[in-house]
Amino acid sequence: MNNLSYFFVLCLLATLSHAIELDFCVGDPRFRGEKTPNNVFGNNVTLAFSDVFPAFNGLGISMARLDFAVGGVIPVHSHRTSEVLILVKGSIIAGFIDTNNTAYYKRLEVGDVMVFPQAMLHFQINVGKTPATAFVSLNGANPALQLTPTALFAGNLPADIAQKITLVSQKEVMQMKRIFGTA
């Protein structure tokens, strides 16, 4: 997740006179302002998961803001929760692939919504002529996001294993690892 920017929150701890099991805090994750995509994918992902935003603890829900440069992409990824996306700026193609290897994808305009079933591979691509912004919500406080390309090529998985389990050629695996600085 080294390509994702985190944010920090001030959590106003409530003084609950009889509090035993409940702890609430009023969140303010500052999705405010411009978010400039500055990584290899041309995206900027601002997470509001329970690890960075404690207000979500125990509530079974979380959120993220997705900003796309022109041509930017959220590469194929998955997580254990379902996801719903609302596009608020620009125009993107969003899609997912089901267990029969069938891809469902669609061009979205501002105001459009798309749902991604839990644990299915999915992706978003900015196909408009301007930057794009979307908000997504996930039905879990800590969705366990896994980006497929970085999981396979940007970490400590040896190149020979990566090649064997993906069928990608040795040359291409090394090219991928060079992209992510792990060659």
Distance CA 84, CA 137 (A): 5
For 160, the 3-state DSSP assignment is helix
Exactly one of 5, 39, 61, 159 binds its own copies (CB under 8 A); that residue is 61
* Residue 18 annotated in ligand binding: no
Q: What are the phi and psi torsion angles at 124 (to 5°)?
A: -140, 140
The minimum distance between CB 5 and its own copies, in angstroms, equals 13
Position 13, amino acid: L
Q: Which of residues 5 and 27 has its CB atom nearest to its own copies in the complex?
A: 27
The two tokens of residue 116 are: 């991604």
Per-position x/- string for 80-119, each x denoting binding to its own copies as judged by CB under 8 A, each - no binding = xxxxx-x-x----x-x-xxxxxxxxxx--xxxxxxx-xxx
Query: What is the total count of residues that contact its own copies (CB under 8 A)?
Result: 100
Q: What single string gives the DSSP state of each residue in 48-65?
A: E-TTT-GGGTTTS-EEEE
Q: Bridge partners of 18?
A: none
* 109 marked as binding residue: no
Q: Locate tokens 């700026």: which residue? A: 89
What single-letter DSSP state applies at residue 5?
Answer: B
Least Å from the CB of residue 15 to its own copies: 9
Binding flag, residue 183, its own copies (CB under 8 A): no
Distance of closest approach, residue 45 Cβ to its own copies, in angstroms? 13
**68 in contact with its own copies (CB under 8 A):** no
Among 10, 38, 51, 183, binds its own copies (CB under 8 A): 51
Q: Is 79 annotated as a binding residue?
A: yes
CA 139 to chain centre: 14
- What is the residue type of 178? R
Residues 30-49 that bind its own copies (CB under 8 A): 30-33, 40, 48
Q: Which amino acids are annotated as binding site, given as ranges? A: 77, 79, 83, 122
Question: Can you say which residues are annotated as belonging to the binding site for oxalate?
Answer: 79, 83
